[in-house]
Amino acid sequence: MATTKEIVSFRDVAKIYRGRPAVSDVNITIKEGEFVCFIGTSGSGKTTTMRMINRMLEPTKGTIIFKGKNIRKYDPVRLRRTIGYVIQNNGLMPHMTIKDNITLVPKLLKWSQEKMDKKAHELIKLAELPDSYLDMFPAELSGGQQQRIGVVRALAADQDIILMDEPFGALDPITRDNLQDLVKNLQETLGKTIVFVTHDMDEALKLATHIVIMDSGKIIQDDTPDNILQHPANDFVKDLLGEERLLQAQQNTLSVGDIMSKNPAHITLGRSLSEAIWEMSRHHVDSLLVTDDSKKLKGYIDLETINDHYSKDLSVSDIYANNLIKVRKDSFLRDTSERILKQGYKYVPVVDKDNTLIGIVTRASLVNVVYDAIWGKEELENPEDANLPVSISKGSENA
């Protein structure tokens, strides 16, 4: 869970090599519990930025604050032990068993043997590997298994923040996917803060709660994945995301109000049944939404019910049905469309926060949107669906 407490912040940081900035104007705030991904092309300054956090590199300019204190005020060796670090080739010592590798830092911290043994068993379990692996050497494990050890070792240590520099870059896609799940699960359950470098947008979108996009040593955009997808800062970011993801993201934030038809056929409670029939024929529909005089949605009435109960003395209020589902104008389609499609409603009325009837979402318009999200923006070539939006065909039993 992300809290609002800052753990690291960069203030106007630059790293300059022989007059050439590797990174400059870096201002980032990392909060506790965040999963931050630095993403950018090779040479954009991701590693340099990350390594300044634990003083593997010293900034040329600016300040970095770690837990409220300038990192210069910490002893560099102790700082590095306080901050976990995972690299691509897992950093396991080849001549040490998995168990010794896992308990390397606890040993430095002078834990008791008993405590270290307990930790080793705990970790191998977290890595989802058998206990017998503890006595093996790294070379006896596959690359993916070695990296599982590297990941749990870093995550299970008593460090609140872990730096990971393209840790899964050398792994095949399936192993990589499994390790991403592992690191994400551990991060969430253990409540760690992770700073993760990648050049893979899929990886960043899968893992990150906070993405920092870098290009040529500068931060181009720094925001949540959602906000970046919704508002890419420039063409570089758009290219990095790709057209397909942008389209998908756009569909994901469509609200009911964006696709509803306005002015659905409706009638007020006090009107007579013959007036209702007349309204239906005028709109070529067999069902009307029912509102009170101030347009608050009350229910619906359909032709079949009128046929069954017709009397010229009855009004809409006598026989309308009030058991209908409705959606709010500002609710996201992604949250409502599946429900509507699955339950087989032909249409769903749309109301504002005061329950005023303002529109209608038809099954056909939803199908269009879902179709666009899956297949892209092409015309839907189903003539039957083409003009459904204003003609309300009979609602389902619950509608």
Question: Can you give the binding site for Mg ion, defined by CB under 5 A?
Answer: 47
Rounded distance between C-alpha atoms, residue 228 and residue 241, angstroms: 9
CB 346 within 8 A of CB 396: yes
* Contact map string, positions 217 to 246, toward ligand ADP, x by CB under 6 A: ------------------------------
Of 21, 246, 377, 194, nearest to 237 by C-alpha is: 246
Applying CB under 6 A, among 17, 293, 342, 381 the residue interacting with ligand ADP is 17
For 346, the token pair is 């032909």
Rounded distance between C-alpha atoms, residue 101 and residue 144, angstroms: 16
Applying CB under 6 A, among 35, 39, 45, 276 the residue interacting with ligand ADP is 45
Residue 88 CB, nearest approach to Mg ion (Å): 9
**Candidate segments 44-52, 342-350, 364-372, 389-397, binder of ligand ADP by CB under 6 A:** 44-52
Give, rounded to a whole angstrom, the gap between the first and last alpha carbons of the chain: 39
| Phi, psi (rounded to 5 degrees) for 62 | 85, 180
Nearer CB in complex with ligand ADP: 46/119: 46
**Binding to ligand ADP by residue 266, rule CB under 6 A?**
no
Residue 42 touches which of ligand ADP, Mg ion, none (Cβ within 5-8 Å per kind):
ligand ADP
Nearer CB in complex with ligand ADP: 52/241: 52
Q: What letter would DSSP give residue 250?
A: H
**Binding to ligand ADP by residue 40, rule CB under 6 A?**
yes
267: region left, alpha or beta (phi > 0 left; psi from -120 to 50 alpha): beta
**Binding to ligand ADP by residue 44, rule CB under 6 A?**
yes
Rounded distance between C-alpha atoms, residue 295 and residue 262, angstroms: 13
Residue 383 CB, nearest approach to ligand ADP (Å): 53
**Binding to ligand ADP by residue 24, rule CB under 6 A?**
no
**339: CB partners within 8 A, 6+ apart:** none
Binding-site ranges for ligand ADP (CB under 6 A): 17, 22, 40, 42-48
